[in-house]
Structure 1
C-alpha cells in the first residue's frame, strides 16, 4: 500500500471502499470492525439503518 505506515489514522490513497451485505440486523459498527480488522486497518464503517424499527436495525439482513 504505497509504503504508508500500517494502522495510521488516514487510509492510503489507494485504499478501497467495500460494500458488505447480509450482515445480521442486530450488528453494530464495532462488531463489523472486529470482523474485518484482522485483515487490515478499518478507517470508516457506515451501517444503513431502518429508523422506523425500535431499536433501529440494519437495513441489510437475512
Structure 2
C-alpha cells in the first residue's frame, strides 16, 4: 500500500517533464490520477511505461 491510496491527484501539465514525473510518482504511491493536458496528449498516450492504476486524461 502506498502513502496516497485514499487520495486522488489532479496533475496539470502532465504530458511531459515535471508534470509527467509527478503523475507517475502519485500513481506509484497508489493515488488515482486525473491528468490535465492542453497539448501533446498524443505523446502521453504513447508512453513506453504507462501509468499504473486508475487514471483519467482531460485534453483541452
| TM-score, reference length from structure 1 | 0.32
Greater helix share, structure number? 2
| TM-score, reference length from structure 2 | 0.33
